[in-house]
Structure 1
Amino acid sequence: MKRTSLNLVWVMTLLSGAEAWADAAAPTVNKGDTAWMIVATLLVILMTIPGLALFYGGMVRAKNMLSVLMQVFVIFSLIGVLWAIYGYSVAFTEGNAFFGGFGKAFLQGITPDSLAATFSKGVAVPEFIYMAFQMTFAAITPALIVGAFAERVKFSAVLVFTVLWFSFAYLPIAHMVWYWAGPDAYTDAKAAEAAAATAGFIFQKGALDFAGGTVVHINAGIAGIVGALLVGKRTGYGRESMKPHSVTLTMVGASLLWVGWFGFNVGSNLEANGVAALVFVNTLLATCAATLSWTFAEWIGRGKPSMLGGASGAVAGLVAITPACGFVGPMGSIVMGLVVGLLCFWAVTSLKHALDYDDSLDVFGVHCVGGMFGALATGVFASPALGGAGVYDYVANAVGEFDMLAQVTSQAWGVCVTVVWSGVVSFLAYKAVDWTIGLRVPEEVEREGLDINEHGEQAYHL
């Protein structure tokens, strides 16, 4: 009898210990992290509607103002629904190296208790807010594309193209770059190898993209230039004035983009901690530096600094720092901002003129060129020797050794795969739309304006 009691105590002790161990091993959810992610998601919504809409809207002619606002507004709404139906599942569940699966289609299996991994072992956030946060990225990306062919494409064509491009360009690129098993899977070298084998293709290549340099900016920029070339130039381009109808609204939009971008970049850390503070500082400094470099380049090259140039420089800085913001140091972010301001100014003036294409709102010159520079520069300025944070080794639970050449090579993989994949999908999607419902509005509609003809209303009644 005594022996039985001892055995019972021993078993109960084991069960109690196992329960305590399970509680310790279970991921923790911090209310501060959750609250920050809700705010960050709202900030990305702000940077799209109204930020991007006003930034683009102010740069077109008055007769096309509402068409741009409508395209951004409805694309955001359309992607929100598609993201819940199948987008989140395809991008962020395990499948193969290029596509996820449909295990979470229609958000099945996700409850208020479901968790999503962060970048710290044992720390998670509610999956619902992670899903919503990632949705805002998916929504702003195709909205960026419309700036390349603004003022001349049918509203119906924009929507059909958006569905095709989102499904076959955005989702696989997002999966290739960002899908991984999470830090808790990296317990030892063997487990790390097994976990890495389930990650996206570009992730496996070692490319760093903290907040969307490849997924958002290069992806959208390539789709934009392909569209601009296939659709053709605006009627009267190069012969008639096509100046922005309201630089004031463009400045307001750029300012909202800048504010919202802190949600975009800092929110991508998924936690409210010291790294989030570093991301905030890098985002701020790179944007300031790029604004200055573009402004002074224009001042020297054209004799006068313009508000449109200053706003464009700010966006260029935001684009460049996006992939790097969690990996580089503050001085690295300033250097990146100074360089990208000059680079993008050259791209939207000299390069655009030399190649003679009509990218209406310079999506390629700012987002693609700036995004490619930012992605490659991440491989340089992430170096701890240059003040960067390096790359974390989750097996050793410490920052690993940094090989700049190897990292730049990995970054080049991300850039090249994104360019090729997005370019091919975009070409096929544009062609499919053109062969079915047609891409471009008739010339008389373009001359009169898309607002009154496509939407039956006008932005201004003067």
Structure 2
Amino acid sequence: MDSGDTAFVLLACALVMLMTPGLALFYGGLVRSKNVLATMLQSFICLGVVSILWVVCGYSLAFGPDRWGLIGGLDWALLRSVGLDPGPYAATIPHLLFSAFQLMFAIITPALITGAFAERMKFSGFLLFTVLWTLLVYFPVCHWVWGGGWLGKLGALDFAGGTVIHINSGAAALACALVVGKRRGYRKEPFQPHNLPLTVLGAGLLWFGWFGFNAGSALAAGMVATLAFFNTQVAAGAAAVAWVTVEWIKIGKPTMLGAASGAVAGLVAVTPAAGFVSPMAAMWIGLVAGGVCYGAVMAKEKLNYDDALDVVGIHGVGGLWGALATGLFASTASNTAGADGLFYGNATQLLVQALGALAAIVYSFALSWILLKVTGVVTGLRVPDDEEVQGLDLSQHSETGYKL
């Protein structure tokens, strides 16, 4: 047991927890004022719902003793045998602390999906879908990569969640946008963010918390954490500049929303690579992410699906680029962990990264589609048209965000 590592991961754990309220602010500012509280609640309530699932069976399913490479057993259900001594995943911190750190990842992943169906989904349907999705999609995919499952054994690299969190949530978000359907009046009336300063505050909290997200994934205060910390900053900054530059060329003006969106895209893209690549590689990952994710968001209009807050374009596409970029730029010369990528003589790593991404996309999209259909039968998915016009704050929660 190392007190320094324990203190470091405790702090990182708190930073990652802060990302979920940060996401609530980020999303809340992007919707219309009549839906701000409903949108924020969908993120915030995940702090409670997923925590309960995690204690009851989630940690065991995700990280418990492997069963067939697909899922963890129930040996650690109700956190049995998960105590204050070091566990199998980190030798210098308490097993319970490792579980707490991973819980924060499990919380924010379904919260990310909510941006795809913002302003139109019933709260009861959201709750049921979140419970089912977390149990049947997040926990298995997490086990595949980090818990001793088949992708981890194959050698897939995912330092802090490019595949487990961002590709996984992005594929689910696409299914949600298609199954739930477009917002009433989509492309016929303006859907402008009602409070961009709120969104910028949320983006700042996400950026701040992301240092815990990525550096904390080293699970020790040392060289790898330092590398991941620095790479996080470089990639986010580069992506913000790239997004604003492309936007400036395309529409003639740079925007604050573009800078915030670009920063988040860079953070997403560097997540799987943060502890495996050099700072120069992180800069390139961020620069490409800014341009590619901007293009993906613009393509949404041509593809005619209503991903309200661009979860697919930023988290899905950004996570996919990050997973593949890890297979390109990973270098044992730059860090003390991982394997070499294509640019350092190991083409196999890129193939493994692509396979892992494809597996997560197909599984998450297909299961999400099925779970949405089940939810639609049990609770219904969408609010009635008159409640959507009124706004979800009043119709679903009998409250308003602003009293002016």
TM over 0.5: yes
| Pair member with larger Rg | 1
Is 1:298 the equivalent of 2:261? no
Letter in 1 for 2:306: D
**Would you say the 8 A contact 1:58–1:247 is kept in 2?**
yes
Q: Which residue is 1:65 aligned to?
A: 36
Deviation at 1:207, TM superposition (A): 0.8
- For residues 240-274 of structure 1, give each alpha carbon's deviation from its aligned partner in whole angstroms, at most 9, with x where no partner exists: 11100000000000000000000100110000001
Q: Which residue is 1:19 aligned to?
A: none
Q: Secondary structure at the match of 1:316?
A: helix
Is 1:204 the equivalent of 2:142? no
**Would you say the 8 A contact 1:321–1:374 is kept in 2?**
yes
CA–CA distance in structure 2, aligned partners of residues 116 and 249 of structure 1: 41
**Would you say the 8 A contact 1:177–1:207 is kept in 2?**
yes
Deviation at 1:86, TM superposition (A): 0.2
CA–CA distance in structure 2, aligned partners of residues 239 and 392 of structure 1: 49
Deviation at 1:405, TM superposition (A): 1.0
Q: Secondary structure at the match of 2:71?
A: coil
Match of 2:135 among 143, 156, 167: 167
CA–CA distance in structure 2, aligned partners of residues 261 and 303 of structure 1: 31
Q: Which residue is 1:238 aligned to?
A: 187
TM-score normalised by L of structure 2: 0.97
Deviation at 1:76, TM superposition (A): 1.9
Match of 1:340 among 279, 282, 289: 289
Q: Which residue is 2:53 aligned to?
A: 82
CA–CA distance in structure 1, aligned partners of residues 103 and 118 of structure 2: 24
- For residues 120-175 of structure 1, give each alpha carbon's deviation from its aligned partner in whole angstroms, at most 9, with x where no partner exists: xxx32101111110000000000000000000000010010001100110000000
CA–CA distance in structure 1, aligned partners of residues 155 and 165 of structure 2: 18
Q: Secondary structure at the match of 1:420?
A: helix
TM-score normalised by L of structure 1: 0.85
Deviation at 1:117, TM superposition (A): 3.0
- For residues 350-389 of structure 1, give each alpha carbon's deviation from its aligned partner in whole angstroms, at most 9, with x where no partner exists: x1122011000000000000000000000111135xx643
Deviation at 1:95, TM superposition (A): 2.5
Is 1:133 the equivalent of 2:97? no
CA–CA distance in structure 1, aligned partners of residues 393 and 18 of structure 2: 24
- For residues 76-105 of structure 1, give each alpha carbon's deviation from its aligned partner in whole angstroms, at most 9, with x where no partner exists: 210011101100001001122010000010
Q: Which residue is 1:247 aligned to?
A: 196
Unmatched tracts of structure 2, length 5 or more: none
CA–CA distance in structure 2, aligned partners of residues 392 and 221 of structure 1: 25
Letter in 1 for 2:51: G
Q: Secondary structure at the match of 1:320?
A: helix
CA–CA distance in structure 1, aligned partners of residues 288 and 245 of structure 2: 12
Is 1:355 the equivalent of 2:303? yes
Q: Which residue is 1:279 aligned to?
A: 228
Deviation at 1:116, TM superposition (A): 4.2
Match of 1:104 among 59, 76, 82: 76
Length, aligned pairs only: 402
Runs of 4+ in 1 over 6 A off after TM superposition: none
Q: Which residue is 1:185 aligned to?
A: none
Deviation at 1:205, TM superposition (A): 1.7
Match of 2:118 among 150, 154, 161: 150
**Would you say the 8 A contact 2:121–2:383 is kept in 1?**
yes
CA–CA distance in structure 2, aligned partners of residues 390 and 374 of structure 1: 20
**Would you say the 8 A contact 1:116–1:126 is kept in 2?**
no
CA–CA distance in structure 2, aligned partners of residues 426 and 367 of structure 1: 16
Unmatched tracts of structure 1, length 5 or more: 1-28, 180-198
**Would you say the 8 A contact 1:212–1:322 is kept in 2?**
yes
**Would you say the 8 A contact 2:330–2:338 is kept in 1?**
no
Match of 2:13 among 41, 49, 53: 41
Deviation at 1:70, TM superposition (A): 0.9
- For residues 157-213 of structure 1, give each alpha carbon's deviation from its aligned partner in whole angstroms, at most 9, with x where no partner exists: 00100011001100000000002xxxxxxxxxxxxxxxxxxx311112211000000
Q: Which residue is 2:24 aligned to?
A: 53
Q: Which residue is 2:358 aligned to?
A: 416
**Would you say the 8 A contact 1:63–1:458 is kept in 2?**
yes
Deviation at 1:114, TM superposition (A): 4.7
Deviation at 1:404, TM superposition (A): 2.7
**Would you say the 8 A contact 1:320–1:371 is kept in 2?**
yes
Q: Secondary structure at the match of 1:152?
A: coil
**Would you say the 8 A contact 1:376–1:408 is kept in 2?**
yes
**Would you say the 8 A contact 1:34–1:125 is kept in 2?**
yes
Identity among equivalent positions (%) equals 50
Q: Which residue is 1:32 aligned to?
A: 4
Deviation at 1:437, TM superposition (A): 1.2
Q: From the superposition, tell whether residues 360 and 392 of structure 1 become closer, same or farther in structure 2 (CA, over 3 Å).
A: closer
**Would you say the 8 A contact 2:276–2:326 is kept in 1?**
yes
Letter in 2 for 1:64: N
Q: Which residue is 1:184 aligned to?
A: none
**Would you say the 8 A contact 2:224–2:336 is kept in 1?**
no
Match of 2:218 among 269, 273, 289: 269
CA–CA distance in structure 2, aligned partners of residues 335 and 70 of structure 1: 36
CA–CA distance in structure 1, aligned partners of residues 87 and 93 of structure 2: 6
